């Protein structure tokens, strides 16, 4: 890609085992097209997996579907080309400010070992925005090339 062309792909996946892997194929395709490095593509794939399984496990979305939008764009005069992924469900939502940050020491002492998804997403992506309410949740994740 000689210059940064905008490109957008939409996808709907059912709430079903391993459908998050189908979503990562789009990340690979768009990441390679925009000449993003392999390690960064893999980090976006991991973040997409986590956002999808969060929706699968916690949203109780009544339509049993998760919507994804994959967007290639560029910030003029900013940080340049990026790959942005939205993961949206129509579930009951949650309050992101009430999420507890997991700690490995506590996890090793307790029966609760889960709850790492948002921490992983925020650590692997450059920008993350979570919009959540009674009509669902949308996680917007951006990684710069």
Partner 1 sequence: MSETLKVVVDRPDVNVAVLRTDGYINNTGGEEIAKEAYALLGSGVNRLLLDLEKTKIVNSIGISILIEILEKLLDQGGKLAFCRLTPTIEKTFQIMGLAQYARIFSAPEPALAWLRGETE
Whose tokens are 């789009």? That residue is 26
Q: Name which of 37, 135, 20 is nearest 85 in CA terms.
A: 20
Residues binding partner 1: number (CB under 8 A): 29
Nearest to 66 by CA among 87, 85, 41: 87
Q: Would you count residue 11 as binding partner 1 (CB under 8 A)?
A: no
Dihedral (Cα; 69, 30, 72, 37), 10-degree rounding: 130
Options 117, 128, 130, 140; binder of partner 1; rule CB under 8 A = 117
In the list 26, 50, 72, 138, the residue contacting partner 1 (rule: CB under 8 A) is 50
Question: Is residue 113 close enough to count as binding partner 1 by CB under 8 A?
Answer: yes
For residue 48, count CB atoms less than 10 angstroms from its CB and return exposed for 0-12, middle for 13-18, buried for 19 or more.
buried
Q: Judged by CB under 8 A, which of 58, 74, 120, 145 binds partner 1? A: 120
- What is the contact surface with partner 1 in residues (CB under 8 A)? 17-18, 20-22, 24, 39, 42-43, 45-46, 49-50, 53, 57, 102-105, 107-108, 113-114, 116-117, 119-120, 123-124
């Amino acid at each position: 890609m000689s210059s940064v062309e905008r490109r957008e792909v939409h996808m709907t996946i059912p709430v079903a085992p391993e459908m998050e892997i189908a979503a990562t194929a789009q990340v690979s395709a768009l990441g390679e097209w925009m000449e993003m490095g392999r390690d960064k593509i893999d980090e976006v794939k991991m973040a997409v997996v986590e956002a999808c399984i969060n929706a699968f496990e916690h949203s109780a979305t009544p339509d049993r579907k998760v919507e994804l939008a994959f967007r290639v764009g560029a910030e003029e005069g900013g940080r340049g080309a990026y790959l942005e992924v939205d993961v949206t469900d129509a579930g009951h939502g949650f309050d992101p400010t009430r999420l507890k940050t997991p700690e490995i020491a506590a996890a090793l002492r307790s029966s609760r070992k889960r709850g790492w998804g948002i921490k992983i997403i925020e650590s692997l992506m450059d920008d993350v925005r979570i919009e959540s309410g009674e009509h669902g949740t949308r996680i917007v994740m951006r990684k710069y090339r």
